[in-house]
């Protein structure tokens, strides 16, 4: 086969490969004879940043990608305050819920007190499009305010649009950091513990 035809076929092959990997979430590339569609699966990842602050309270964190489970424990009856920096990465709209389990402490406050991008691969609309229910939103306000919560069921604390414009699930510059303030009221017992579970899920664009 002539080299010119080989080069032509290789060029067409590389062009096809480039199109497959560069197609965004829902884009059609059409010619007079060919119609090609590409789709990226909806992905949301949740983790905890290194600046978790929990004072004298013991904290154990376990994350499996979409769920973060934090166990807090102590022996002091003084109401502890814990700040959890949740890192969310997503290529689709997302939502985060929180669940609390304890028989030795009450949840006095659960509030979102700060939201910030971690870098240049965070979508410009990630913060402006964020939806935080009023009972959880303390951004720019006095943080120390108890809220009456029905923690017998998971609480939807935040939802929002796509966060990440690129990168991987471990990139430093493509996550939204959502700081959650948790205030606990231990019961008058010797020692207490609380299990907090934050779960993230994708909100499908296809209704």
3 has pLDDT over 70: no
Phi-psi group of 17: left, alpha or beta (phi > 0 → left; psi -120 to 50 → alpha; rest → beta): alpha
Sheet holding 192-202, edge to edge: 58-63, 67-74, 192-202, 94-101, 155-160
What integer pLDDT is reported at residue 146 of this predicted model? Answer: 65
How does strand 192-202 pair with strand 67-74?
antiparallel
What integer pLDDT is reported at residue 166 of this predicted model? Answer: 94
What integer pLDDT is reported at residue 26 of this predicted model? Answer: 37
107 has pLDDT over 80: yes
What integer pLDDT is reported at residue 190 of this predicted model? Answer: 78
Give the pLDDT confidence of 125-171 residue by residue, as tens digits.
999 999 999 999 999 887 766 666 777 789 999 999 999 999 999 89
Report the chain's terminal Cα–Cα distance, integer Å: 51
- Residue 124's CB: how many other CB atoms inside 10 A? 9
How does strand 44-48 pair with strand 81-90?
antiparallel
Question: Which residue has better confidence, 139 or 2?
Answer: 139
What integer pLDDT is reported at residue 206 of this predicted model? Answer: 57
What integer pLDDT is reported at residue 195 of this predicted model? Answer: 96
Give the pLDDT confidence of 43-91 residue by residue, as tens digits.
999 999 988 888 888 999 999 999 999 999 998 878 889 999 999 999 9
What integer pLDDT is reported at residue 55 of this predicted model? Answer: 80
pLDDT (mean) for 80-108:
94
Give the pLDDT confidence of 108-123 residue by residue, as tens digits.
899 999 999 999 999 9
């Amino acid at each position: 086969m002539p080299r010119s035809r080989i080069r032509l076929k290789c060029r067409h092959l590389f062009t096809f490969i480039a199109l497959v990997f560069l197609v965004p979430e829902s884009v059609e590339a059409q010619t007079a004879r060919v119609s090609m569609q590409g789709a990226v699966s909806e992905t949301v990842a949740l983790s905890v940043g290194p600046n978790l602050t929990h004072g004298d309270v013991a904290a154990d964190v376990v994350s499996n990608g979409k769920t973060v489970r934090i166990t807090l424990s102590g022996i002091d009856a003084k109401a502890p305050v814990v700040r959890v920096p949740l890192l969310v990465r997503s290529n689709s709209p997302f939502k985060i819920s929180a669940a609390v389990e304890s028989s030795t402490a009450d949840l006095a406050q659960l509030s979102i007190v700060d939201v910030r991008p971690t870098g240049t691969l965070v979508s410009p609309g990630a913060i402006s499009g964020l939806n935080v229910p009023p009972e959880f939103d303390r951004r720019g306000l006095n943080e120390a305010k108890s809220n009456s919560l029905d923690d017998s069921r998971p609480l939807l604390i935040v939802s929002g649009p796509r966060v990440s414009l690129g990168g991987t699930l471990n990139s430093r510059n493509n996550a939204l950091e959502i700081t959650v303030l948790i205030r606990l009221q231990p019961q008058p017992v010797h020692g207490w513990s609380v299990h907090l579970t934050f779960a993230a899920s994708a909100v499908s664009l296809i209704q």
